[in-house]
């Protein structure tokens, strides 16, 4: 591993990309620590400590603690992700013909779709920042101390403008990281926010062990469980279902070509962290709406439903993950195109006729593989929360954060390895290669 890291330092282009990515993440972390003026920090921290097990606590983790400090980056990339979901759903459902035409125009159409996503992000950021500001000013604190010292119209105007500008800046920063850095910028921003909270959780556990509030056996059991879950996530994230493909021998000019065997790889979890991020983002929408009327009975019911410890929240979360797993595959993989390309190149699946039967077979396999991958993602996303309540651990160890951290780390290492191998260097693994998903949060395929 040390040799591979030294190889990265020897390649000027790769070294420049890595340093640019680290610099962008440093800028994001600095902005996440700059609070909005006029906020009572102690009162705000007491609110988030009391609601750490709710959806608000998950959104705080996704923002890297910026929401808990009500900093200029409190909104994070959630408005951008929500805008990407809306555009993707409208495009996939063929609701707006204009979006379908843009999708078929190649690179030019993709740029126009990304531009529409940016405009929609600006609108959603303004809407959500206004709701978040109202919620902060009206949320009760355990000590009865107001979070905002003077909630006048000037405070609302400056706060909404600052939060919206922060979201647009993060969106731009993520796009720059994707184009000029390593990995997907939006995913790396979420990754950095989650990893930032890990040292504080570890220190809190160590302090509780020293105070004899947690037994050493219980701590070792949870640590072993974490390692086992991480190994299972890595195994499933890199697992593939290989469909054998046989190529017929044919004459090309004066030479005989073909006759080789290959396979069509279908990943068990093709969507990766996309389904998890999209599910959390969509669950945050009703919370945003409820922020405009925090004292009404309807808003209280919505906030109660969004409590992460309730069974209906877990069911809704699981259904959304399954839906986005299938939706992502339907957008990224077209069995008809795969079958046609295979037929044109003289390939066929043994025992399956070329053309439409091959497309139906690929779709049949894909549906079942996706079901298995979605079931695993749901189990990882929900099971740790259930065990966490049983063992009453003091820090958040959720499958949502784990899936994002492992998935983004694997894909970033895969891209680094691809750069090394392209320049005739060794990869990170002595045998085999790191399998990648090449996902892109927010980009239209």
Q: Where are the alpha helices (DSSP H) in 309-434?
A: 311-332, 335-344, 356-391, 399-422
Is there a domain that residue 428 lies in? Answer: no
Q: What is the mean pLDDT of residues 310-339?
A: 85
Neighbours of 231 (CB within 10 A): 11
**Is 11 among the domain residues?**
yes
% the chain with pLDDT above 90: 9
Give the whole-angstrom CA distance, residue 353 versus residue 397: 48
* CATH code at position 401: 1.10.3370.10
CA dihedral 191, 377, 88, 315 (to 10 degrees): -110
Using CA atoms, how far apart are residues 162 and 399, in angstroms rounded to an integer? 32
Q: What is the mean pLDDT of the chain?
A: 79
Mean pLDDT of 89-97: 73
Q: 185: pLDDT confidence band, cut at 50, 70 and 90?
A: confident
Cβ burial 349-376 (10 Å sphere, 16+ → b, else e): beeeebeeebbebbbebbeebbeebbeb
Q: Report if residue 442 sits inside a domain.
A: no
Mean pLDDT of 271-292: 76
Question: Would 430 be classed as within a structural domain?
Answer: no
pLDDT at 120: 92
**Structural domain contains residue 25:** yes
* 433 lies in some domain: no
Give burial (CB, 10 Å; 0-12/13-18/19+) of 4: middle
Q: For the chain, how many structural domains are there in total?
A: 1
For residues 374 and 397, which has the higher predicted lDDT (pLDDT)?
374
- pLDDT score of 395: 47
Shortest CA distance to 412 belongs to which of 91, 182, 130, 117?
Answer: 182
Residue 135 belongs to what domain range? 2-422
pLDDT of residue 259: 62
Confirm whether 434 is domain-assigned: no
């Amino acid at each position: 591993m040390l040799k591979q890291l030294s190889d990265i330092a020897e390649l000027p282009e790769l070294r420049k990309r890595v340093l640019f990515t680290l610099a962008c993440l440093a800028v994001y972390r600095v902005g996440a620590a700059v609070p909005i003026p006029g906020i009572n920090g102690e009162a705000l921290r007491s609110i988030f400590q009391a609601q750490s097990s709710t959806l608000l606590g998950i959104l705080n983790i996704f923002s890297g603690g910026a929401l808990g400090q009500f900093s200029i980056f409190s909104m994070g990339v959630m408005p951008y992700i929500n805008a990407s979901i809306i555009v993707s759903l409208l495009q996939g459902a063929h609701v707006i013909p204009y979006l379908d035409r843009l999708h078929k125009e190649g690179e030019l159409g993709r740029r126009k779709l990304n531009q529409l996503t940016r405009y929609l992000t600006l609108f959603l950021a303004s809407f959500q920042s206004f709701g978040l500001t109202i919620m902060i000013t009206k949320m009760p604190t355990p000590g009865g101390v107001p979070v905002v010292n003077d909630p006048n119209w000037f405070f609302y105007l400056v706060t909404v403008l600052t939060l919206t500008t922060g979201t647009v800046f993060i969106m731009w920063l993520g796009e720059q990281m994707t184009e000029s850095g390593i990995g997907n910028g939006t995913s790396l921003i979420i990754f950095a926010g989650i990893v930032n909270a890990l040292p504080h959780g570890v220190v809190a556990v160590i302090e509780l062990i020293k105070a004899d509030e947690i037994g050493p056996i219980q701590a070792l059991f949870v640590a072993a469980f974490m390692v086992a879950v991480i190994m299972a996530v890595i195994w499933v994230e890199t697992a593939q279902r290989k469909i054998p493909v046989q190529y017929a021998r044919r004459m090309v000019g004066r030479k005989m070509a073909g006759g080789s065997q290959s396979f069509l790889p279908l990943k068990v979890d093709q969507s990766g962290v996309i389904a998890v991020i999209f599910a959390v983002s969509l669950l945050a929408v009703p919370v945003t709406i409820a922020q405009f009327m925090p004292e009404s009975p309807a808003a209280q019911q919505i906030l109660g439903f969004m409590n992460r410890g309730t069974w209906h929240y877990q069911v809704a979360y699981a259904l959304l993950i399954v839906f986005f797993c299938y939706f992502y595959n339907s957008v990224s993989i077209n069995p008809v195109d795969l079958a046609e390309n295979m037929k044109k190149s003289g390939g066929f699946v043994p025992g399956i006729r070329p053309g439409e039967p091959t497309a139906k077979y690929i779709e049949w396999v894909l549906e079942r593989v996706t079901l298995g991958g979605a079931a695993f993602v749901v189990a990882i996303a929900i099971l740790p929360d259930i065990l966490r309540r049983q063992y009453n651990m003091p820090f958040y160890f959720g499958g949502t954060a784990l899936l994002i951290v492992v998935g983004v780390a694997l894909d970033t290492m895969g891209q680094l390895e691809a750069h090394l191998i392209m320049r005739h260097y060794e990869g990170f693994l002595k045998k085999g290669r790191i399998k990648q998903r090449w996902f892109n949060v927010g980009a239209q395929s």
